[in-house]
Structure 1
Amino acid sequence: MKINTKIIAHRGSKGTRPENTLISFQTAIDDGADGLETDVHFSKDHQLIIMHDETVDRTTNGSGRIVDKNLAEIKHLDAGVRFSSEFKGTTVPTLQEVVELLIKDNFTGIFNLELKTNKIQYPGIEKAVFDYFASIDYPFQLIYSSFNARSLEILNRLDPKLAGAKLFKTAAKQAKTLKKDHLIADFHPDIRWLKRHPFFAPAQNLRPWTVNSTEDMQYCFERNLAAIITDYPARAVQIRSEMREGVE
């Protein structure tokens, strides 16, 4: 079976490592992921912090909002111990640290950076991210995504050639409008919504999340979608390989 669907590791290998940490990203790369997905926030001192939630409570031993903490405070947090004592002492990375890891690994796959501006606006974060990538050379394919259409519009204005994608659970109409206006290239829908609306968009424009079950992986591979975003990249790589070889 011809399957060109890419496998993008959601917050790294989130299912097997502490999410959005360097060890999570390295594991995903080692397991053969074609891409990485992660999330960025602004700290109090305008540092680009890699974490999913707006607060540090769920994934670290600390509490409070990222926007209320400076980088030094965030670096004192343990981002591994809540996942497992095996990863005690794991730190919260900055965007620069993640990019440096990818450069060191000569990672040439997809790097999908989600701007987490749907709950906290973080004025200026789009320009800060854009300026950072404009200042360096990197080997990977950079894709921006967000639930916040305004962030995608700002990034598109900074560089109309940037690859952007609209995340959504149900707001398909807004996503289609952004595509029609050439503000984004692709769609990142919830897999549950996509299965209810299978003809929403061409396969080459779809990268659904979070595709974790064997059934959902097979569903996406059979339709040859552009990519899946999954917590279990190693499992996805294995299932794709088996389907390509016709193994039952």
Structure 2
Amino acid sequence: MLTKIIAHRGSKGIRPENTLPAFEKAIEEGADGIETDVHMSKDGHLIIMHDETVDRTTNGQGRIMDQTLMQLKTLDAGSYFGYAYLGTQIPTLNEVIQLLIAKKFKGIFNLELKTDKIQYPGIEEKVLAYMNQQELPFKVIYSSFHPQSLVKMYSLNPDIEYASLFKVQTKFARRLYRKRLIRDWHPDIRWVRAHRFFLPHVQLRPWTVNSDDDMRYCFKRRFDGIITDYPGRAVIIRKSIQGG
């Protein structure tokens, strides 16, 4: 089995993150998976963005939860990356899913619920209700830094794959794995490097694996996957180590 290459917020290294151009580029580059993040707007729409606020990646300000979809759609989420992306909008979850379906994407879709800082009321139910309405040609994995979201998601649908995200603290990841609520760990690559002699026997998909050295490290150890800003480069390096 080849180590899966999962595009972090799309091809974040060469496109404005968490936008349709970033996801489209990741597919073109041969990524095995797409990783992205979901929040909820003031009027209950599922919004794709990494931060809780729009400040860093748009020309606007303020928290996502304090703005309606109409307000969020007026913002420019691409020009910070370059003039070529002027006018790129913040996408909704539906827009991303429909893009992947239209592109006949058949890999992994890793959706992170961004509930570690803001617990959006009912976001778990809303995400599952939407996804259950779709005929999806790809595999879905849900992840979160917030263990309560994973517990809630599992209680709503125990037949889906869940993953625990963490930087250094493994207590909740270990507990959820023992209870069989999750199958995978998505740790910081720095944690993986620091614990290289004591890595657990679980499916590992480290983030954010961007340097050639870290990519080679993961491919040589044949981790289940890596989450990277540069899927195109990762595809080339993987082929040199794992073939395929």
User: So what's the TM-score if we normalise by structure 2?
Assistant: 0.98
Partner of 1:85: 83
Aligned to 1:12, the other structure's residue is in SS state: coil
Contact 2:2 2:242 in 1 (8 A): no
**Which of residues 210, 213, 217 is equivalent to 1:212?**
210
Q: How far is the alpha carbon of 1:95 from its aligned partner?
A: 0.1
Counterpart amino acid of residue 200 in structure 1: L
- Superimposed CA distance per residue, residues 162-218 of structure 1 (whole angstroms, 9 cap, x where no aligned partner): 10000000111210110001111100000001111123222x610000000000000
SS in 2 for 1:187: strand
The equivalent of 1:200 in structure 2 is: 199
- Report 1:25-174 matches (<5 A): 25-174=23-172
Listed as ranges, the matches of 1:4-23 within 5 Å are 4-23=2-21
For 2:157 and 2:42, the matched residues in 1 are separated by 27
Instruction: Tell me which stretches of 4 or more aligned residues in structure 1 moved more than 2 Å.
Output: none
Looking at structure 1, the residues matched to 83 and 173 of structure 2 have their Cα atoms a distance apart, in angstroms, of 41
Q: How many residues align?
A: 243
Unpaired segments ≥5 residues, structure 1: none
SS at match of 1:155: helix
Is the 8 Å Cα contact of residues 219 and 242 (structure 2) preserved in structure 1? no
Q: What secondary structure does 1:139 align onto? A: coil
By how many angstroms is 1:241 displaced? 1.1
Displacement, 1:245? 4.5
State the percentage of identical aligned residues: 59
Please state how far the C-alpha of 1:86 moved relative to its aligned partner. 1.2
Is the partner of 1:240 in helix, strand or coil? Answer: helix
Determine the C-alpha separation between the residues in 1 that align with 2:169 and 2:98: 35
Structure 2 runs not aligned, ≥5 long: none
Q: What is the root-mean-square deviation in Å for CA atoms of aligned residues?
A: 1.1
Amino acid in structure 2 at the alignment position of 1:144:
Y
Of 225, 236, 239 in structure 1, the residue corresponding to residue 237 of structure 2 is 239
Q: Aligned letter for 1:72?
A: M
Deviations 1:112-141 (A, max 9, x none): 000000000001000000000111111010
Cα distance in 2 for partners of 1:14, 1:95 equals 17
SS in 2 for 1:161: coil
Amino acid at match of 2:102: K
Secondary structure at 1:92's aligned position in 2?
Answer: coil
Equivalent residue letter for 2:194: R
Deviation at 1:243, TM superposition (A): 1.8
Counterpart AA for 1:161: D
SS at match of 1:167: strand
SS at match of 1:39: strand
Farther off after superposition, 8-17 or 236-245:
236-245
Measured at CA, do residues 96 and 245 of structure 1 come closer, stay the same or move farther in structure 2, by a change above 3 Å? closer
Distance 2:41 2:192 in 1: 34
**CA displacement at 1:244 relative to structure 2:** 3.0
* Equivalent residue letter for 2:125: K
SS in 2 for 1:114: strand
SS at match of 1:143: strand
